[in-house]
């Protein structure tokens, strides 16, 4: 066997498959987008076969790049869109319904009913999460009530449930392993943050039978072996696994308490390492597990704030409004104007996440005049992405009671220099962009490499992290306050 790690990042809009060598360099990667389905306003579905096919295509595609032979892959690392829930048949492996995507709001009414019945405090205390349709538990319940033939299958013990990580491990091991890692399990609303196990009271509250759930395992170690995967030999250890935001935190080498990163993906997520104890938020943020290395390893916790729409807003400009041809064109278009020209776009296209938690909120564009151009809308979109993050960072600093360290940025849209400058300006904080911005696949590779002993631990990873560009604040404090005030007026309209 060689020393390459194959990392699979199964994201919301597509799958990236990459190869990392033993020096920690990403040597090749491919990405395959797949269709999104919006069966009703506020609903978001994925076809499970599209997810599976994109992974298989990615594995074949990255191997075709000729960096190494399949026999030289020493381990597989996985990372994934979190919270998205799905059910499949244990005997045939066949998906029983579409996957209900994390952005989907179809379970709003049920979550509101639980809130009205006074359950939010207990859910929060046990899971670190708010009661919101974002998390998997209410999605499992919906699937269990709305999937044809489910009762019969449940009675026969054939229903397997899980988040995307769990489904992928099942697929890659030829149905040998039904597991989920602790960082993904932490996003279901069914795992107790302290015991790191499924909580029977929560399972009862959300009406999710314990027997459909996978076993919870650490983020690195021997988690299974490949079996029957086209293009890969049997027996390669699957040795790393984490939700994409936690993998990015790991890939950014945020190993010290207070280290934080912001990933600009479909959504944007600020996550801060809070060390060995969960820190409960009073400002609308989530407490979550960052990772656990090896069986019995001490868990590391994190504080997180996510805006549901980031790159997805740019995709909407491309696909919904047809304002640009390629997502990357947004930077040049937005740079044609000096500022947003009074236009505000609040991209609450799937409700609002942290720190507002308003699943019913919908997007608005305000401040249009006859002088408004496509460029103003593009610029307002970039501003909105940055302003949402600024709201989250402020909430985080409130919880901490002090200023945070410079924020590390990553993800596809972090390559957009204009967006990064706007972000530094509206935050009033310096940003650090590493040389490697694909930190999510990198994180999954590192976890797998540590899992097989290719790297000894986090110290090896920290040494490999290389700073790229810094973005310093250029906007004056009064100008920043004015910019935020205008955004907040538009935001209030969305929340009203």
**Interface residues with ligand G3P (CB under 6 A)?**
11-12, 81-83, 102, 243-245, 265-267, 306
Residue pair 95/88 in contact by the 8 Å Cβ criterion: yes
For β-strands 45-46 and 99-100, DSSP reports them as: antiparallel
Nearer to ligand G3P, 236 or 384 (CB): 384
Nearer to ligand G3P, 24 or 243 (CB): 243
Residue pair 28/465 in contact by the 8 Å Cβ criterion: no
d(CA 380, CA 365): 9
CB-based contacts of 170, cutoff 8 Å, min separation 6: 88, 93, 160, 162, 177, 178
CB-based contacts of 53, cutoff 8 Å, min separation 6: 34
Nearer to ligand G3P, 224 or 265 (CB): 265
For β-strands 4-10 and 73-80, DSSP reports them as: parallel
Taking the complex as a whole, how short is the minimal distance between the CB of residue 135 and ligand G3P, in angstroms?
A: 9
Nearer to ligand G3P, 36 or 81 (CB): 81
Taking the complex as a whole, how short is the minimal distance between the CB of residue 83 and ligand G3P, in angstroms?
A: 5
Nearer to ligand G3P, 191 or 343 (CB): 191
Taking the complex as a whole, how short is the minimal distance between the CB of residue 64 and ligand G3P, in angstroms?
A: 25
Nearer to ligand G3P, 74 or 182 (CB): 182
CB-based contacts of 320, cutoff 8 Å, min separation 6: none
Return the DSSP state at 104.
Answer: -
Residue 374 CA: distances (Å) to CA of 314, 317, 333, 377:
13, 10, 8, 5
- In 66-119, which residue ranges form alpha helices assigned H by DSSP? 108-116
Q: Which pair of tokens denotes residue 173?
A: 């091991």
Taking the complex as a whole, how short is the minimal distance between the CB of residue 304 and ligand G3P, in angstroms?
A: 9
Taking the complex as a whole, how short is the minimal distance between the CB of residue 306 and ligand G3P, in angstroms?
A: 6
Nearer to ligand G3P, 219 or 236 (CB): 219
CB-based contacts of 289, cutoff 8 Å, min separation 6: 182, 183, 185, 186, 193, 196, 246, 299, 300, 301, 302
* The Cα angle at residue 14 between residues 206 and 160, in degrees rounded to 5: 35
Nearer to ligand G3P, 74 or 386 (CB): 386
Dihedral of alpha carbons 220, 225, 228, 231, sign: positive
Taking the complex as a whole, how short is the minimal distance between the CB of residue 230 and ligand G3P, in angstroms?
A: 25
Taking the complex as a whole, how short is the minimal distance between the CB of residue 389 and ligand G3P, in angstroms?
A: 13
Taking the complex as a whole, how short is the minimal distance between the CB of residue 68 and ligand G3P, in angstroms?
A: 26
| Residue 460 C-alpha from the chain's centroid | 25
Nearer to ligand G3P, 4 or 308 (CB): 308
Nearer to ligand G3P, 237 or 267 (CB): 267
Taking the complex as a whole, how short is the minimal distance between the CB of residue 375 and ligand G3P, in angstroms?
A: 26
Taking the complex as a whole, how short is the minimal distance between the CB of residue 130 and ligand G3P, in angstroms?
A: 13
d(CA 185, CA 127): 10
Nearer to ligand G3P, 191 or 490 (CB): 191
**Which residue pairs from 334-340 have beta carbons closer than 8 angstroms and sit at least 24 positions apart in sequence?**
334/375, 334/378, 334/379, 334/381, 334/382, 334/418, 335/418, 336/373, 336/375, 337/373, 337/375, 337/376, 337/379, 339/379, 340/367, 340/376, 340/379, 340/380, 340/383
C-alpha atoms less than 13 angstroms from C-alpha of 57 in its C-beta half-sphere? 15
Taking the complex as a whole, how short is the minimal distance between the CB of residue 240 and ligand G3P, in angstroms?
A: 16
Nearer to ligand G3P, 132 or 344 (CB): 132
Nearer to ligand G3P, 165 or 344 (CB): 165
Residue 37, strand partner residues: 45
158, 185, 6, 188: which is closest to 92 by C-alpha? 158
Residue pair 407/249 in contact by the 8 Å Cβ criterion: no
Select the residue whose beta carbon is closest to ligand G3P and give its number: 265
Taking the complex as a whole, how short is the minimal distance between the CB of residue 173 and ligand G3P, in angstroms?
A: 22
Taking the complex as a whole, how short is the minimal distance between the CB of residue 310 and ligand G3P, in angstroms?
A: 7
Q: What does the longest C-alpha to C-alpha distance in the chain come to?
A: 65
């Amino acid at each position: 066997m060689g020393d390459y790690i194959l990392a699979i990042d199964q994201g919301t809009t597509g799958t990236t498959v990459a190869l990392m060598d033993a020096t920690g360099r990403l040597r090749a990667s491919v990405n395959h987008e797949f269709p999104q389905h919006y069966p009703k306003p506020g609903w978001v579905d994925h076809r499970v076969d599209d997810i599976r096919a994109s992974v298989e295509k990615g594995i074949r595609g990255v191997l075709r790049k000729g960096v190494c032979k399949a026999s030289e892959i020493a381990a597989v690392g996985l990372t994934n869109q979190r919270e998205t829930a799905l059910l499949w048949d244990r005997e045939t492996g066949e998906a029983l319904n579409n996957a209900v995507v994390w952005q989907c709001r179809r379970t709003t009414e049920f979550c509101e009913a639980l809130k009205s019945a006074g359950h939010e405090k207990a859910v929060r205390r046990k899971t670190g999460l708010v009661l919101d349709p974002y998390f998997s538990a209410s999605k499992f319940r919906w699937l269990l009530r709305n999937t044809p033939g489910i009762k019969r299958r449940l009675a026969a013990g054939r229903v397997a449930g899980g988040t995307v990580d769990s489904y992928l491990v099942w697929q890659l091991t030829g149905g040998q392993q039904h597991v989920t890692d602790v960082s993904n399990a932490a996003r279901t609303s069914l795992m107790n943050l302290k015991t790191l196990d499924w909580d029977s009271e929560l399972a009862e509250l959300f009406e999710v039978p314990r027997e459909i759930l996978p076993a919870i395992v650490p983020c690195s170690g021997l988690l299974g072996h490949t079996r029957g995967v086209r293009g890969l030999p049997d027996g390669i250890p699957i040795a790393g696994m984490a939700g994409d935001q936690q993998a990015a935190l790991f890939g950014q080498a945020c190993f010290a308490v207070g280290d934080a990163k912001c990933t600009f993906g479909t959504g944007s997520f600020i996550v801060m390492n809070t060390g060995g104890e969960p820190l409960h938020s009073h400002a609308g943020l989530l407490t979550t597990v960052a990772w656990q290395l090896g069986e019995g390893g001490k868990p590391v916790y994190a504080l997180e704030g996510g805006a549901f729409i980031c790159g997805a807003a740019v995709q909407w400009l491309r696909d919904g409004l047809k304002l640009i041809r390629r997502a990357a064109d947004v930077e040049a278009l937005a740079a044609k104007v000096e500022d947003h020209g009074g236009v505000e776009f609040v991209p609450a296209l799937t409700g609002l996440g942290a720190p507002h938690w308003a699943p019913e909120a919908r997007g608005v564009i305000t401040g249009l005049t006859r002088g408004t151009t496509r460029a103003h809308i593009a610029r307002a979109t970039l501003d909105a992405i940055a302003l949402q993050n600024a709201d989250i960072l402020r909430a985080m600093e409130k919880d901490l009671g002090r200023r945070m360290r410079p924020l590390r940025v990553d993800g596809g849209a972090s390559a957009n220099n204009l967006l990064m400058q706007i972000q530094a300006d509206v935050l009033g904080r310096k940003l650090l962009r590493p040389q490697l911005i694909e930190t999510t696949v990198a994180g999954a590779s590192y976890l797998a490499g540590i899992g097989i002993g290719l790297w000894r631990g986090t110290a090896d990873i920290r040494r490999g992290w290389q700073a790229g560009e810094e973005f310093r604040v250029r906007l004056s404090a009064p100008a920043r306050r004015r910019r935020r005030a205008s955004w907040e007026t538009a935001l209030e309209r969305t929340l009203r």
